[in-house]
Structure formats: C-alpha cells, structure tokens
C-alpha cells in the first residue's frame, strides 16, 4: 500500500456545516448563535474556568503544601515482578516494556521492595528503595542506578 492509495472509510468525513447561507439552510441569519449576547459576538465568549464573575472553583478551594510542576514521576514496580526473568539476565526499562511488565515508561523505573526474589539478576533502573536493593543483592544479583 502506498500513501496515495490511503483513504478515509465511508462516512468518516462529512461536508462541513455552511453557516449563514439563508433561511433554507437551517443555519441562516444568526448562524446558530442565537440573538445578541456575549456568545453571539465575533471573538465573544469566556475563558476556561470563568463562572460569570463568581469566585472560580480553582480559587475557592484551599491549597496546601507544594506541588512541583517540573517533577518527573518514575514508574514503580515491585521486586516480585522481576521473578519472571531467567537467572543471570540483565533487566532494564526496555526489557520490562518488551515483556509486558510495564505498559509505558516515560521518565524511568523505580524498583520497590514488596515480595521476594530468588534469581540472580542485574537490574538497571533509575532508582531503588533500600529494601529492594538489599533483596536483589541477597539473591546474588546487582542493582545498578542508570
């Protein structure tokens, strides 16, 4: 198949509504905007979150603590999930994605210590909890921070 042979399925693309083209079109005169008012004007309307002058919800609700907007959250998995790999294997984010342990990994992986591990693995991750690192090393493996 070539790019010039691609086409939309039947019914996927309909003709656009032609507004303001007379009474017979069903969208004439006011073109579906009604009569007068802010929303009938060109460029009219309100910004997102505007509540007609009432104090907006985002400002009414109390805020506490600190929210880091630049935080890069790591995808967390437990030591138990590593048990599926064979002895002596190297496990990293790519391997976890390929085997289906993770569905997506945007910023990196953190290994947490829930469960047990019996296999000797070399695990490469962005971060490890203390207990996870200890369990991996006790099983004879290595925990490498990438």
Q: Cα–Cα distance between 140 and 6 in angstroms, integer?
A: 54
What does pTM read for this prediction?
0.59
What are the structure tokens assigned to 124, written together?
Answer: 């490469």
- The string of pLDDT tens digits covering residues 107-146 is 999 999 999 999 999 999 999 999 999 999 999 999 999 8
- 40: helix, strand or coil: helix
- The string of pLDDT tens digits covering residues 33-43 is 999 999 999 99
- Domains parsed from the chain with CATH numbers: 75-145 (3.100.10.10)
Cβ neighbours of residue 111 closer than 8 Å, sequence gap 6 or more: 76, 77, 78, 79, 82, 123, 125, 127, 128, 129, 132, 133, 136, 143
Cα–Cα separations (whole angstroms), residue 72 to 95, 108, 137: 21, 9, 27
């Amino acid at each position: 198949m070539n790019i010039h042979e691609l086409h939309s399925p039947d019914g996927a693309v309909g003709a656009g509504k032609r507004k303001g083209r007379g009474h017979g079109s069903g969208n004439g005169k006011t073109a579906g905007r009604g009569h007068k008012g802010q929303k009938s004007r060109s460029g009219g309307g309100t910004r997102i979150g505007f509540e007609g002058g009432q104090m907006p919800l985002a400002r009414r609700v109390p805020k506490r603590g600190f929210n880091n907007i630049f935080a890069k959250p790591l995808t967390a998995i437990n030591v138990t999930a590593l048990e599926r790999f064979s002895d002596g294997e190297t496990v990293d984010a790519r391997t976890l994605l390929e085997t289906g342990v993770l569905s997506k990994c945007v910023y990196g992986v953190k290994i947490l210590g829930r469960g047990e591990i019996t296999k000797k693995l070399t695990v490469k991750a962005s971060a490890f909890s203390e207990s996870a690192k200890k369990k991996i090393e006790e099983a004879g493996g290595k925990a490498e921070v990438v």
